[in-house]
Structure 1
Amino acid sequence: MGAFLDKPKMEKHNAHGEGNGIRYGLSSMQGWRVEMEDAHTAALGLPAPGLTDWSFFAVYDGHAGSRVANYCAKHLLEHIMGAGAPTVEAVKAGIRAGFLGIDEHMRGFSDLRNGTDRSGSTAVGVLLSPEHFFFMNCGDSRAVLYRNSQVCFSTHDHKPCNPHERERIQNAGGSVMIQRVNGSLAVSRALGDYDYKCVVGRGPTEQLVSPEPEVCEMLRTPEQDQFVVLACDGIWDVMSNEELCDFVKSRLEVSDDLERICNEVVDTCLHKGSRDNMSVVLVCLPNTPKVSEEAVRRDGELNRYLESRVEAMLSRPADEGFPDLATVMRNLSADGSMPALPPGGGLASKQSVIEAVYNSLSPYREEEGVSIRRAIRDFVASSSFDKSK
């Protein structure tokens, strides 16, 4: 089930790119977990004749180690690409064959075969051709498509308590306890996890844990398609499909820096209480929301309002005591006159801004002869503060 650190590791891995008429950004963060077990793939243009205008993105959420997730991030695409002619049905069959093939291939690795490494990984991805989306999912990471300003598609999480998954588990001689396979594993489909794939007389898709992906094909509608989000359950544990997409849309109206937006997503989820590794890939399509001067103005006003409120709270007489950050956040959450917060993110999406102001002022006391107001002026004027946020 995983152990936790005393404080979260907030360093982020970022990447971005542009091509084939799309842009992408990604962010991953270890968070409270003792190990970073997530991995990802981002490929603009596929390494096969005639497929340079295709793209592939995926997120892998490892558990019990990072071995399987990291290997899949490097090699799942090449297993999928062995399909032949890229007709719709051939691509769907190739995706399924690719998942089953890489799972069987990894079973031959000595550390996975002899049990010295018991890792496994979910996998969620999207393959984009000029005309189609091919969504694929194995486990409880998730992909959503935002079209015409609403969530129009989401992959299906594979949990042991789902009736179809439970039936397969029980038919293979297993059980579902505390919503886990045999009371232990929280997903019912995954790559790796070979301890759950050794029932004699049953095929790979009939085991306690199946490596078979669900594959869904959809026609692209360029005039309506806006963006795709792929993320592990460290994101979805604290944000619904609609909350995350509303938040992403609101941030796209403020900035076209996709890495920055993805960083805001993982920070917001951390502040909302996620205790897991967090990874998100944002794929922006030609009709993605554009930066709006009005949205930028409103966001700037909100930041300035929050700064002034924190300043006021920290400027109280010393005999009233210096409030801790939790008290500041509680007071702000009860503020009925606050300007509108980012939809889906709420006050948690502004905690980084609040913490920056708080940390800049907390060492200063009036009795030390340093003006709180001067301190905040110095902070706002410093290069470490981005006034565009």
Structure 2
Amino acid sequence: MGAFLDKPKTEKHNAHGAGNGLRYGLSSMQGWRVEMEDAHTAAVGIPRGLDDWSFFAVYDGHAGSRVANYCSSHLLEHITDNDDFRATEAPGSALEPTVENVKSGIRTGFLKIDEYMRNFADLRNGMDRSGSTAVAVLLSPNHVYFINCGDSRSVLYRSGQVCFSTQDHKPSNPREKERIQNAGGSVMIQRVNGSLAVSRALGDYDYKCVDGKGPTEQLVSPEPEVYEIVRADEDEFIILACDGIWDVMSNEELCEFVKYRLELTDDLEKVCNSVVDTCLHKGSRDNMSIVLVCFHNAPKVSEEAIKKDADLDKHLESRVEEIMTNAGEEGMPDLAHVMRILAAENIPHLPPGGGLAAKRSVIEEVYNRLNPHRESDGPETLLKYSIETNLPRL
């Protein structure tokens, strides 16, 4: 299967925490890829006097994990320790930086870490050609700073709707394409020189060696876009995720799905796990990572929602039993066939954004119980029903 495994690795890395009026949970899963190249950062409280600030990030590595892993441990310090971020500090003081200091410090931090990593021996000698996207949020008591470099993405859910989303850096974007062409490159099949699918990233030094051009004028730029938004009581949650998630869910779909899950459980790790599982069942072939940051106004567990979800599970269990009982002379149907039948039905109250894919574990459990002597589903069958059942957007 080339760059893919024979079957997906579904073991997950989880973490959670709380502080500064926030709760967070995260989940990452290797999926179909031959390596896990994602990384993340979650810090409640920032060193050097910013105890009431927090920082969260997702890094989507490509061609290796070296850059993503280094950034996960060191990007924050490159941001907060540079002079631009701390410009208003007097000797011996711990004043909070201004909005402009923060934005300038973030940009400087990205450029500094990118130049610093260039000197790693394995990167300099071409033994490691890896790069990484970076999407992050830096939260002060009054502001949220959204930081993006690449095609991972972050969204803010406020007052029951998507309030803000970062914009993916794709080579075909007019502004990105102009920079690439000015550096002597081209955009083919929506990739930089027909190869790299992102136009901004950390690392990827093969695309940062055009003589006479500065670091932000190269084929691939390490410069982040930074947006500041004033925090509001109506803020509910922020999602940061790599493109393995966004490939199969839109901003609105993912936010609605997370809202639905938050009404069923306050365990943020479980909410994040359900996202990556559902995206796998929707056909994502990439590594998947998600960080969910909840404010005090996040959706709360609802007994009504729990009952409605339980009723849906019972309905699905009953339908699977009917389909398999009525199979007749054709013999026991495979799971893909069962999923196709259910996908064609108008089933009420399916999870918003997740649809039937979000209930595959319920369906599979009943199927396995009624067909204990089945042959194991191979990768073709797994892909068949994950992709086919996602064709009708439920």
Q: State the TM-score, normalizing by the size of structure 1.
A: 0.91
What is the distance in 1 between the residues matched to 2:281 and 2:5? 16
Aligned counterpart, 2:170: 159
| Root-mean-square deviation (Å) | 1.4
User: Structure 2: where are the runs of 5+ without partners?
Assistant: 89-96, 375-394
Give 3-state SS (helix, strand or coil) of 2:272's partner. Answer: helix
Aligned counterpart, 2:366: 357
Aligned counterpart, 1:194: 205
| Contact 1:39 1:61 (8 Å CA) reproduced | yes
Identity %, equivalent residues: 76
| Contact 1:2 1:33 (8 Å CA) reproduced | no
Aligned counterpart, 1:324: 334
**1:137 and 2:148 correspond:** yes
Aligned counterpart, 2:66: 67
Amino acid at match of 1:53: D
Aligned counterpart, 2:77: 78
Aligned counterpart, 1:56: 55
Give 3-state SS (helix, strand or coil) of 1:349's partner. Answer: helix
What is the distance in 1 between the residues matched to 2:370 and 2:116? 56
Aligned counterpart, 2:249: 239
Aligned counterpart, 2:7: 7
What is the distance in 2 between the residues matched to 1:187 and 1:360? 45
Displacement of 1:316 after TM fit? 3.4
Amino acid at match of 1:127: L
In the TM superposition, 1:81-96 aligns within 5 A as 81-82=80-81, 83-84=85-86, 85=88, 86-96=97-107
What is the distance in 1 between the residues matched to 2:176 and 2:372? 55
What is the distance in 2 between the residues matched to 1:363 and 1:147? 46
Residues 1:2 and 1:119: Cα distance change in structure 2 (over 3 Å)? farther
Displacement of 1:339 after TM fit? 2.8
Displacement of 1:104 after TM fit? 0.3
Q: Deviations over 1:85-111 (max 9, x none)?
A: 411111111110110000000000000
Amino acid at match of 1:267: D
Amino acid at match of 2:350: L
**1:307 and 2:317 correspond:** yes
Deviates more, 1:76-85 or 1:34-43: 76-85
What is the distance in 1 between the residues matched to 2:366 and 2:14? 25
Amino acid at match of 2:288: M
What is the distance in 1 between the residues matched to 2:138 and 2:312? 38
Q: State the TM-score, normalizing by the size of structure 2.
A: 0.90
Aligned length: 362
What is the distance in 1 between the residues matched to 2:270 and 2:136? 22
In the TM superposition, 1:248-327 aligns within 5 A as 248-316=258-326, 319-327=329-337
What is the distance in 1 between the residues matched to 2:355 and 2:317? 16
Displacement of 1:364 after TM fit? 6.1
What is the distance in 2 between the residues matched to 1:2 and 1:158? 26
Deviates more, 1:314-323 or 1:233-242: 314-323
Amino acid at match of 1:351: R
| Contact 2:200 2:223 (8 Å CA) reproduced | yes
Amino acid at match of 1:3: A
**1:185 and 2:184 correspond:** no
Q: Deviations over 1:291-345 (max 9, x none)?
A: 1111010000001111111122222366330010001101111223x23101111
Aligned counterpart, 1:383: none
Displacement of 1:2 after TM fit? 7.2
User: Structure 1: where are the runs of 5+ without partners?
Assistant: 366-389
In the TM superposition, 1:218-229 aligns within 5 A as 218-222=229-233, 224-229=234-239
Amino acid at match of 1:145: L
